[in-house]
Chains A and B, each alone.
Chain A
Amino acid sequence: GQQLNQSPQSMFIQEGEDVSMNCTSSSIFNTWLWYKQDPGEGPVLLIALYKAGELTSNGRLTAQFGITRKDSFLNISASIPSDVGIYFCAGRKDGGSQGNLIFGKGTKLSVKP
């Protein structure tokens, strides 16, 4: 089935460092969503992107909807210990039904104090 390639799979960083992760696809998407999942909880929406080229921030988080509509990036600036978790991208294709939200496999972030 349709896949999103999310990278890196995991990251180990020092507190205060910046983080970048991305998702790519061979298909065009009309929506990109970024979620964070803490251990034992469900994913929580961080940022939603609806337009090619769109750059949106949420505090220290910034995400971009790639101009080709086939990729998206999430950056976290000045990481802190509570940033630890798994970050998922999700995309919806043009003309897709509500059932066509596709998730990446996640980027597991570990932050050393």
Chain B
Amino acid sequence: NAGVTQTPKFRILKIGQSMTLQCTQDMNHNYMYWYRQDPGMGLKLIYYSVGAGITDKGEVPNGYNVSRSTTEDFPLRLELAAPSQTSVYFCASSEGQPGSPLHFGNGTRLTVT
């Protein structure tokens, strides 16, 4: 049972570089999410998707882009990395019924210097 798989686990970027954080799930969940977690803080929602072809902004979307071409994959794109984007990024998925719990990946630790 793979669940939600994120790659890479770690990455160091220079300011201005771009990268894509990959996320895939094998549970056939319609809903997928991207969160960032900063030290001492809870999880902040960046973007989410309720199904293939549909994405929506969360609480902190600036500096990020997403796409959802398939049910399984939900990549997160950083176009011009900034130090403020240093964080741990978590992808999650859920069945989508109201109140259904989220299943999280193990995170990508990103440092921008």
Contacts and interface: CB of A to CB of B under 8 A. Distances in A.
A31 interface: yes
A77 B86 CA distance: 37
Contacts of B43: 43, 88, 90, 103
Contact of A43 (B40, B44, B59, B104): B104
A104 B42 contact: yes
Interface stretch (A13-21, A44-52, A56-64): A44-52
B2 interface: no
Contact of B42 (A45, A48, A92, A103): A103
A66 interface: no
Contact of A42 (B42, B94, B107): B107
Contacts of A106: 40, 42
A105 B101 contact: no
Interface of B: 4, 31, 33, 35, 40-45, 48, 50, 56, 58-59, 90, 92, 94, 96, 98-99, 101-107
A45 B40 contact: no
A98 interface: yes
Nearest to B38: A105
Contacts of A31: 98-99
A3 B43 CA distance: 11
A4 B43 CA distance: 11
B101 to A, nearest CB: 5
Contact of A99 (B4, B56, B98, B105): B56
Q: Which of B58, B92, B98 has the most CB of A within 10 A?
A: B98
A33 B101 contact: yes
Contacts of B98: 30-31, 92, 98
Nearest to B97: A98
Contacts of A88: 42-43
